[in-house]
């Protein structure tokens, strides 16, 4: 599986949960908290469930609690997509 | 016109474990649990594989072949509970059917049948344009949860106001609240009020999996649901029904009916900010409790027992503990509070009524049921949760609360009609 | 025994704001323009390929692009039934001239009726479950499919935190929601958002309805739904509904409400006896109790908005009940649903909108497509053209599958 890019993450977020009025996903959002971007706990769960399906990895509960920003998600997913060998 | 009082004169329960009111009380007063590995379908592909299932055979429960064919599992529970309640109350044949109402709470409709029929008409999900030729003629009764109220009306002979109340996981309290209103305002003298749900099936289990709200203690199902315990890790789905005969007080007295308790107040509030989230400060549930206590004209120390929502999720139990402190003050620390969900799981729209059943029996028998599996205190939940063992004590006044998706919070207060010192005190305060 | 008189407090519930999403139009004005002129909105289902189904004609909401009205965050987590309610609510609040900031959030409540849940959303997620597995089920399934979704979302969107409710009694539910709104007002809530919507015109939704055996086949939109006609052979499903703001008269006046559409003066609900019992169906009793509750005599009622099942046996029951209370041709009767189909939980609220506009404009909207009225000797059915008449008091009836009957009485407020 190829790496999760910010563009593909944004596409997943838009597809799953749309975008809050007044929020611009076009800018640099890597370090912004999901909450401030208008994505609540359900939106984060919806996003992680999509990522689990598309990237075929399992994200445990404890990890989800630490995924507070798009940057966190990219780091978490791409660290685990790196071939183990 | 003086306020019409509302009392409970009959009770039927189909709860996880063996069916019937006494089997239910036996389970929850003993601290045993009915949470097991799911048997209603193969749970292997699911994250949480635990459920609290009813050991229920509709034929043995006395349902006719036609009733069994036309109803979902939830409707079957409701029918069995209704018949037990009606027999228990011995409703006098002199009551006009026009003065008997029906109010049934439910959360997810006839979910099992909707899913099973979907698999057939869609050929297991292959077709979007599903094939009507494979549909059962009862499918329309499944899609509308109102069929539950129809079944209860037919089983009880009611011809007064009838409806289903569907406020998610608060529906079991709200339906009893609706029946309370119908009698109090004079629209009915008797109401069959209660709730039923049967959600233990793949789609609902998958929903709670996705939300990561259900317990993953798959290796230890009997101890999976641990409300207020430090190691709690989620709810366990349950199923079942409880149905009550509510009756106008004078009407009940005139016919010499046995009275379990009086319904003295009911209140509902919404959180207004999130469909599934709850704030840590306990505000919204606190508001529902405060409203119900004000309506009952009670002080916190008039309460003998709180039957908690206590779903066993980290979020809920923290919110709820904070709510008790906000609404009941210092007395919250001295009040026995327990969650029977530790034993019978969370049956969504039904559980509020099942918990009202436990609360009424607590009054009837002067026993507080325990919170099973509670072994390790959580600094965030520091009240008296009645760990493991039931307590024999005078129980005259009980608060029962619920909280549900959609942002609903409800509270109901039940009281004994015994003329005890405690009851007399309460009535003095109210006067 | 206490009789039927209820001690429901001294509240005078008035409807001060109207909103509607209907086959006949996506706001109240458009709906009324069609309904008063007898312009039917029934057509062959276009939402999906319906050619394989025996029932082809329905009342679809048309030209409704949810994304134009509902923010995308909310759109993704809700079914069309909730989209309709969100938009109808915005209309009702605007119409009522309400500034929600003037209220404490606990003084506001939401009561909606629903019948099929978010069945289209549900079908999509069931498909994922069985095609891909449990992990494919989305997080929004748990809040979009269930019957409480609409009340919950409205409560959140508008910060309404009082005693909210959700009623399911099929077509009768919309009137039961108004009855519950009155109770909640009597207990001290200042304003209630009440009404109902349904959106069951998706493939699984339609197949669920087909099972009841009451839907009319045929693909000529003007020959399928014919209540009180010799050709009656079932009803046509529709979608949409209506929402209202309901408040106490004195409070509405105190805040300088722009207009009062009417007062809810009477309400009653009954359930029919078990089939085969031989007892009379509960509709007549619902009418009588609602009139008594309203303190209105049959002679004071200017028009009856009938349920109009379109199923011969049910039409006969309804004609008999109206006849028993009002006498032969004792009151004008109309079924504007013939232009929209039956909207389930949204049907009676839409009738209430139409009834209140009939009061405003002194005009009874017609029943359409009735060529051969079966009950011409008993029912004074207003057909094809609007009938000008002073309308002060209206009776709206609704009957739900499974035996539910509800009746409300609405009057003009001077």
Residue A59 located in a structural domain: yes
pLDDT at C10: 78
- Residue B145 and residue B348 in contact, taking contact as beta carbons nearer than 8 Å: no
Residue C53: pLDDT above 80? yes
Residue C357: pLDDT above 70? yes
pLDDT at B29: 98
Domain co-membership, B354 together with B237: no
Helix C347-361, helix C28-36: angle, nearest 10: 70
Q: Which positions ≥6 away from B98 have C-beta within 8 Å?
A: B159, B160, C270, C285
How big is chain C by its Cα radius of gyration, in Å? Answer: 20
Residues of chain C contacting residue B160, judged by C-beta atoms under 8 Å apart: 269-271
pLDDT at C238: 98
Tell me the pLDDT band of C7, cut-offs 50, 70 and 90: very low
CA–CA gap between residue B111 and residue A67 (Å, rounded) = 33
Looking at the partner chain, which of C135, C140, C143 has a beta carbon nearest the beta carbon of A53? C135
Report pLDDT digits (tens) over B261-290. 999 999 999 998 899 988 889 999 999 999
CA–CA gap between residue C22 and residue C12 (Å, rounded) = 28
CA atoms within 13 Å, Cβ hemisphere of C178: 40
Q: How many domains does chain A have?
A: 1
Domain co-membership, B249 together with B372: no
pLDDT at B92: 73
pLDDT at B425: 54
Interface of B with A in 256-295 (CB under 8 A): 274-277
CA–CA gap between residue A5 and residue A78 (Å, rounded) = 9
- Residue C202 and residue C120 in contact, taking contact as beta carbons nearer than 8 Å: yes
Report pLDDT digits (tens) over C209-245. 999 999 999 989 999 999 999 999 999 999 999 999 9
Report pLDDT digits (tens) over B337-378. 999 999 999 999 999 999 999 999 999 999 999 999 999 999
Q: Which positions ≥6 away from B58 have C-beta within 8 Å?
A: B67, B68, B76, B80
CA–CA gap between residue C54 and residue C47 (Å, rounded) = 16
Residue A84: pLDDT above 80? no
CA–CA gap between residue B352 and residue B410 (Å, rounded) = 9
CA–CA gap between residue B329 and residue B383 (Å, rounded) = 12
CA–CA gap between residue B238 and residue C49 (Å, rounded) = 39
Residue B243 located in a structural domain: yes
Hey, is the C-beta of C274 within 8 angstroms of any chain A C-beta? no
Looking at the partner chain, which of C131, C210, C403 has a beta carbon nearest the beta carbon of B132? C210
Interface of C with A in 42-71 (CB under 8 A): 71
Hey, is the C-beta of B317 within 8 angstroms of any chain C C-beta? no
pLDDT at B106: 98
CA atoms within 13 Å, Cβ hemisphere of C414: 1
Report pLDDT digits (tens) over C236-255. 999 999 999 999 999 999 99
Residue B343 located in a structural domain: yes
Identify which of B256, B210, B203, B202 has the alpha carbon closest to the alpha carbon of residue B92.
B256
Domain co-membership, B47 together with B148: yes
**Percent of chain B topping pLDDT 90:** 93
Residue B261 located in a structural domain: no
Average pLDDT value for chain C: 96
Segment B304-309 shows an average pLDDT of 98
Q: Do A64 and B212 touch (CB under 8 A)?
A: yes
Tell me the pLDDT band of B423, cut-offs 50, 70 and 90: low
Average pLDDT value for chain B: 95
CA–CA gap between residue C236 and residue C238 (Å, rounded) = 7
Residue B1 located in a structural domain: no
Structure token pair of residue B132: 């009507």
Report pLDDT digits (tens) over B13-28. 999 999 999 999 999 9
Q: How many domains does chain B have?
A: 2
Shortest Cα–Cα distance, A20 to chain C (Å): 6
Identify which of C20, C25, C122 has the alpha carbon closest to the alpha carbon of residue C79.
C122
Residue C55: pLDDT above 70? yes
Q: Do A18 and C138 touch (CB under 8 A)?
A: no
Shortest Cα–Cα distance, B98 to chain C (Å): 8
Shortest Cα–Cα distance, C382 to chain B (Å): 30
- Residue B132 and residue B74 in contact, taking contact as beta carbons nearer than 8 Å: no
User: Measured in Å, how far apart are chain C's first and last C-alpha atoms?
Assistant: 36
Give the chain B residue whose CA is nearest to the CA of C279. B159
Looking at the partner chain, which of A20, A42, A49 has a beta carbon nearest the beta carbon of C77? A42
* Structure letter (DSSP) for residue C55: B
Q: Do C48 and B128 touch (CB under 8 A)?
A: yes
Tell me the pLDDT band of A85, cut-offs 50, 70 and 90: very low
Report pLDDT digits (tens) over B319-333. 999 999 999 999 999
pLDDT at B296: 95
Pairs of CB atoms within 8 A across A/B: 14
Fold (topology level) of C13-254:
Peroxisomal Thiolase; Chain A, domain 1 (3.40.47)
* Structure letter (DSSP) for residue C101: G
Residue C6: pLDDT above 50? no
DSSP H helical ranges for C79-193: 80-96, 119-132, 141-144, 149-157, 173-186
Residues of chain C contacting residue B67, judged by C-beta atoms under 8 Å apart: none
Shortest Cα–Cα distance, C77 to chain A (Å): 7
Looking at the partner chain, which of C116, C172, C270 has a beta carbon nearest the beta carbon of B159? C270
Residue B29 located in a structural domain: yes
Q: Which domain holds residue B305?
A: 266-430
Which helix or strand (DSSP H or E) is residue B225 part of?
none
Residue A10 located in a structural domain: yes
Segment B136-157 shows an average pLDDT of 97
Residue A71 located in a structural domain: yes
Residue B346: strand pairing partners: B237
Asked, colleague to colleague, whether C13-254 and C265-411 share their fold, the answer is yes
Domain co-membership, B368 together with B326: yes
Residue range C265-411 forms a domain whose CATH class is alpha beta
Q: Do B161 and C269 touch (CB under 8 A)?
A: yes
Shortest Cα–Cα distance, A82 to chain B (Å): 25
- Residue C2 and residue C401 in contact, taking contact as beta carbons nearer than 8 Å: no
Tell me the pLDDT band of B71, cut-offs 50, 70 and 90: very high
Residue B378 located in a structural domain: yes
pLDDT at A1: 64
The single residue listed with the structure tokens 């509302």 is B6
Residue A37 located in a structural domain: yes
CATH number at residue B361: 3.40.47.10
CATH number at residue A77: 1.10.1200.10
CA–CA gap between residue A13 and residue A9 (Å, rounded) = 6
Tell me the pLDDT band of A53, cut-offs 50, 70 and 90: confident
Looking at the partner chain, which of B137, B153, B171 has a beta carbon nearest the beta carbon of C271? B153
CA–CA gap between residue B398 and residue C304 (Å, rounded) = 47
Catalytic residues of B: 169, 309, 346
Q: Do C71 and A43 touch (CB under 8 A)?
A: no
Domain co-membership, B353 together with B396: yes
Segment A53-81 shows an average pLDDT of 91
Residue B421: pLDDT above 70? no
Residue A1 located in a structural domain: no
B272: left (phi over 0), alpha (psi -120 to 50) or beta: left
pLDDT at A83: 61
CA–CA gap between residue C7 and residue B5 (Å, rounded) = 13
Give the chain A residue whose CA is nearest to the CA of B211. A45
């Amino acid at each position: 599986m190829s790496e999760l890019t910010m563009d593909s993450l944004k596409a997943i977020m838009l597809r799953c949960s749309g975008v809050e009025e007044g929020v611009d996903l076009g800018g640099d959002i890597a370090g912004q908290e999901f909450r401030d971007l208008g994505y609540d706990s359900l939106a984060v769960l919806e996003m992680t469930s999509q990522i689990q399906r598309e990237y075929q990895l399992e994200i445990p509960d404890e990890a989800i609690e630490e995924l507070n920003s798009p940057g966190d998600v990219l780091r978490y997913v791409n660290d685990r997509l790196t071939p183990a060998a | 016109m003086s306020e019409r009082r509302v009392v409970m004169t009959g009770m039927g329960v189909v709860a996880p474990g063996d069916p019937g009111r006494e089997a239910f009380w036996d389970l929850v007063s003993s601290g045993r649990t009915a949470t097991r590995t799911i048997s209603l379908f193969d749970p292997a592909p699911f994250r949480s594989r635990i459920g609290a299932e009813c050991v229920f055979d509709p034929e043995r429960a006395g349902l006719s072949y036609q009733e069994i064919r036309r109803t979902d599992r939830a409707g079957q529970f409701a029918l069995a509970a209704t018949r037990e309640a009606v027999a228990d109350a011995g409703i006098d044949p002199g009551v006009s059917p026009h003065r008997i109402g029906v109010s049934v709470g439910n959360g997810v409709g006839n979910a099992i049948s909707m899913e099973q029929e979907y698999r057939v008409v869609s050929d297991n999900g292959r077709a979007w344009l599903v094939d009507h030729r494979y549909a059962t003629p009862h499918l329309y009764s499944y899609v509308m949860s109102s069929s539950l109220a129809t079944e209860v009306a037919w089983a009880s002979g009611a011809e007064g106001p009838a409806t289903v109340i569907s406020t998610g996981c608060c529906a079991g309290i709200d339906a009893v609240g609706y029946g309370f209103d119908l009698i109090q305002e004079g629209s009915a003298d008797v109401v069959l009020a209660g709730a039923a749900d049967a959600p233990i099936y793949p789609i609902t289990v998958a929903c709670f999996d996705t939300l990561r709200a259900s317990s993953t203690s798959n290796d230890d199902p009997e101890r999976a649901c641990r409300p207020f315990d430090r190691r709690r890790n989620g709810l366990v789905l349950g199923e079942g029904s409880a149905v009550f005969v509510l009756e106008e007080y004078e009407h009940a007295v005139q016919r010499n009916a046995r009275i379990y308790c009086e319904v003295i107040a009911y209140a509902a509030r919404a959180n207004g900010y999130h469909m599934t989230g709850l704030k840590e400060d306990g505000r919204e549930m606190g508001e529902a409790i405060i409203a119900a206590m004000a309506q009952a004209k009670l002080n916190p120390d008039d309460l003998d027992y709180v039957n908690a929502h206590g779903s066993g999720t980290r979020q809920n139990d923290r919110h709820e503990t904070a709510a008790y402190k906000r609404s009941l003050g210092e007395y919250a620390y001295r009040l026995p509070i327990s969650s029977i969900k530790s034993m019978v799981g969370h049956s969504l729209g039904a559980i509020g009524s099942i918990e009202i059943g436990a609360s009424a029996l607590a009054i009837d028998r002067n026993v507080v049921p325990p919170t099973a599996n509670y072994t390790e205190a959580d600094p965030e939940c520091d009240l008296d949760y009645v760990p493991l063992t039931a307590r024999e004590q005078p129980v005259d006044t009980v608060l029962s609360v619920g909280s549900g998706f959609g942002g609903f919070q409800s509270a109901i207060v039940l009281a004994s009609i015994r003329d005890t010192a405690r009851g007399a005190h309460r009535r003095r305060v109210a006067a | 025994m206490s009789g039927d008189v209820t001690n429901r407090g001294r509240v005078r519930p008035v409807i001060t704001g109207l909103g509607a999403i209907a086959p006949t139009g996506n706001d109240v004005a458009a709906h009324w323009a069609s309904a008063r002129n007898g312009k039917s909105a029934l057509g062959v289902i276009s939402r999906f390929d319906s050619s394989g189904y025996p029932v082809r004609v329905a009342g679809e909401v048309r030209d409704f692009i949810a994304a134009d009205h509902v923010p995308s965050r909310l759109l993704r987590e809700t079914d069309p039934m909730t989209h309709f309610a969100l938009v109808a609510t915005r209309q009702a609040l605007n119409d009522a001239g309400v500034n929600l900031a003037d209220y404490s959030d606990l003084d506001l409540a939401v009561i909606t009726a629903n019948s099929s849940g978010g069945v289209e959303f549900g079908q999509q997620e069931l498909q994922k479950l069985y095609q891909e597995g449990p992990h494919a089920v989305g997080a929004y399934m748990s809040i979009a499919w269930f019957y409480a979704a609409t009340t919950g979302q409205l409560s959140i969107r508008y910060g309404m935190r009082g005693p909210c409710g959700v009623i399911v009694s099929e077509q009768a539910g919309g009137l039961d929601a108004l009855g519950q709104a009155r109770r909640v007002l009597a207990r001290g809530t200042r304003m209630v958002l009440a009404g109902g919507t349904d959106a069951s015109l998706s493939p699984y939704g339609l197949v669920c309805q087909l099972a009841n055996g009451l839907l009319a086949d045929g693909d000529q939109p003007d020959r399928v739904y014919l209540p009180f006609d010799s050709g009656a052979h079932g009803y046509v499903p529709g979608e949409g509904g209506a929402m209202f703001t309901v408040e106490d008269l004195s409070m509405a006046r105190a805040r300088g409400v722009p207009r009062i559409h009417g007062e809810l003066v009477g309400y009653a609900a009954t359930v029919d006896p078990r089939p085969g019992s031989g007892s009379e169906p509960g509709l007549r009793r619902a009418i009588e109790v609602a009139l008594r509750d309203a303190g209105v005599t049959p002679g004071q009622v200017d028009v009856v908005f009938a349920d109009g099942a379109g199923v011969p046996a049910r039409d006969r029951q309804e004609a008999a009940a109206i006849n028993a209370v009002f006498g032969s041709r004792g009151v004008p009767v109309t079924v504007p649903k013939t232009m929209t189909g039956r909207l389930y939980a949204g049907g009676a609220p839409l009738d209430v909108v139409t009834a209140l506009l009939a009061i405003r404009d002194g005009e009874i909207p017609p029943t359409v497509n009735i060529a051969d009225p079966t009950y011409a000797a008993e029912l004074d059915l207003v057909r094809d053209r609007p009938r000008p008449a002073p309308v002060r008091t209206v009776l709206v009836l609704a009957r739900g599958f499974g035996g539910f009957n509800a009746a409300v009485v609405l009057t003009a407020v001077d």
